[in-house]
Amino acid sequence: MKFIKTLILAFMKKKSYFYWFPRFLGLLLIPGFLFDTEILVLFQSLILLHASLGLEVIIEDYLHLEIIKLQCLSLIKVLLILLVNLNILYLL
């Protein structure tokens, strides 16, 4: 457990989590092949995560006003959480 915390903190410091985080979550799909509902939840959640990470990169690159940038990034994170929750509720 301590190794995982150290690994996560190292990724957050280097800002390389946007590279490793989707790959780590991709590994979570492997056990999901046993159950259809679980694979759908994981796969659709990863698609939404991938879309939100792409939008975050675009916003960080092209928006130069910090307040608007932070508002857009916060809005994307909130919408991602809502869409993943709706996705899970829909499949249940």
What's the pLDDT score for residue 13? 63
User: Sign of the CA dihedral 52, 28, 1, 11?
Assistant: negative
The dihedral over CA atoms of 60, 64, 68, 70, expressed in degrees to the nearest 10, equals: 40
Q: Running DSSP on this structure, what letter comes out for residue 92?
A: -
Six-digit token string for 64: 């130069």
> Which of 41, 34, 48 lies closest to 80, judged by CA?
48
Q: What is the pLDDT of residues 43-83, one digit of tens each?
A: 777 888 888 888 888 998 998 898 999 999 899 989 888 88
**pTM above threshold 0.85:** no
